[in-house]
Structure 1
């Protein structure tokens, strides 16, 4: 049982841990819903005061911003991956669960993933629906949802995956996204309290350092080319983006390994 994953045990553990974490998950989803709703009400307030309808372009723009908020709240969900293990008593109780460490680790990651990508998305849809209802009651004119703009933003990102011109940049962005999520899983295993706040601080620091390094390399190398060497500049830029992607994927794998190592230690300390 040490290293073999049993789907029966995983199913039992997912059900058990969802019940154990129901309070934390409920607070997260409720807080996210309230945050989205306050965001929409704040943006809609000036339209309501003027009794004017919100046009479709404006609502689409709000959807783009909502996508950023959605990503931030997903990071919050991942920073709570190993919540509920703050005290020795809770860790001992979790240790006594008849499952191996890999199953316990995966169960927490799966719960965080479903909560972040599905649960928070549903709270966004619900908040947008409430905002549309208020818009219809107060203004009484045609209302527009922000959901199309939200998925348009996702579509713009997905389109870059098939665009050879921006392929390297998009792959780097995707690698950064995966690194970000695994980084907050790592923070959840390292920090037993305020993992999200501490993770945001460290994440911003690492991103700034990385941007400075990449920008310095591009400035020194690309700046040395002659004005006519446009092709060489583009080739070096693309190569740099590929290198950044590889480094980020490696760091993502390191985050997963390190978080699993910390998780195993935390359940016995």
Structure 2
């Protein structure tokens, strides 16, 4: 029996939990996306209630692979950090929780890693050899490191210390909005960030995702770095698509 052509991806974010069936041949949604607001107190149980509701709405059958992203480091199905969700996730066996509630095998992974894999398989990093670093600019800075098509999970490059600051506290989209930075001011900070990353890892390509990637023309041309840098092709769909892909190919 061949691999499933359809898988369900669910992307857990700080403000919304989004899900859609994904056509794995096309790397595109097979149905309309469903979004439900993230609970104000985003404990594992509260988030699991929303995830279960999304899975019920699509009713794809028990054999359909399901991938779920978390804004957290995830190792062996356990959340090791908690970004924009409740701290009770730290040390929680998320995969076990979701599998019991949904009654099926679940693949759990970091949200930026899911986006990176989606860009690798279907988007801006497709057929790119060497090291590709995908960064997602939003509330924080997520990262995915892809070496010759293989994911090195949980890289957390948004937490590099630069000039005494956690990088994402100065260069994430949230910092631009919080401090009222114009595109040129923000680009200066992004240049500092990407220069540090490229000096450490010497990637072949940067791919920039997150909601702000829709405005890539406003800031990417302003960056002064040596590494080619391009916007993500899948935009905010990447987390869902990557989660679905990895669930079907685990």
Q: Which structure has the highest helix share of the two?
A: 1
Structure 1 and Structure 2 fold alike (TM over 0.5): no
TM-score by length of 2: 0.31
TM-score by length of 1: 0.29
Higher relative contact order (CA 8 A, sep 6+): 1
Larger radius of gyration: 1
Q: Which structure has the highest strand share of the two?
A: 2
